[in-house]
């Protein structure tokens, strides 16, 4: 059973860069078919997909955040990380690290699923 755990600062000043790490246990971050993803949830709001890094190191980001976002993989630590620059109050949110897996169902075929989530970490942006 894969488990994920976010770590990082709970408070960031405006204009600073947020750095979060996600430690994966119970499985290798390089095992095939997985997309290591960041999702956030702003206070009282819905869920926003931020982006992913694949097991091969390919990344894809939400265009709304792409210019400020870096997602990287550290295979030696079995971790992946997020860096979001130029933080503002609008970036205050719970940040989740998530495994999105590619799966196969005999009756349906292939499908994607956010099947393992970290507990989330609240990041506030304030001076």
Q: Stretches 19-27, 73-81, 84-92, 100-108: which one binds other proteins (CB under 8 A)?
A: 100-108
Angstrom distance (rounded) from CA 41 to CA 44: 8
Applying the rule CB under 8 A, the residues between 105 and 124 that interact with other proteins are: 105, 107-108, 111-115, 117-120
Shortest CB 88 distance to other proteins, Å = 20
Q: Determine which residue in the list 63, 67, 90, 127 makes contact with other proteins, applying CB under 8 A.
A: 63
Collapse the DSSP code of 43 into the 3-class scheme (helix H, G, I; strand E, B; otherwise coil) and give the result: coil
Say if strands 18-25 and 3-7 run parallel, antiparallel, or are unpaired: antiparallel
Q: What strands, in cross-sheet order, belong to the sheet with 69-74?
A: 3-7, 18-25, 79-84, 69-74
Tokens (6 digits) for 78:
């079995």
Q: Is 25 in the site for other proteins (CB under 8 A)?
A: no
Binding site for other proteins (CB under 8 A): 45-49, 60, 62-64, 96, 103, 105, 107-108, 111-115, 117-120
């Amino acid at each position: 059973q894969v488990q994920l755990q976010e770590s990082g600062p709970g408070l960031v000043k405006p204009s600073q860069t947020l750095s979060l790490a996600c430690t994966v246990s119970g499985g290798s971050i390089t095992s095939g078919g997985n997309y290591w993803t960041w999702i956030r949830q702003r206070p009282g709001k819905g869920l926003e997909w931020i982006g992913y890094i694949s097991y091969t190191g390919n990344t894809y980001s939400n265009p709304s955040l792409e210019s400020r976002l870096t997602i990287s993989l550290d295979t030696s630590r079995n971790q992946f990380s997020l860096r979001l620059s130029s933080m503002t109050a609008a970036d205050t949110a719970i940040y989740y690290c998530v495994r999105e897996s590619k799966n196969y169902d005999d009756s349906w075929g292939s499908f994607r699923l956010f099947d393992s989530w970290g507990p989330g970490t609240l990041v506030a942006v304030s001076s």
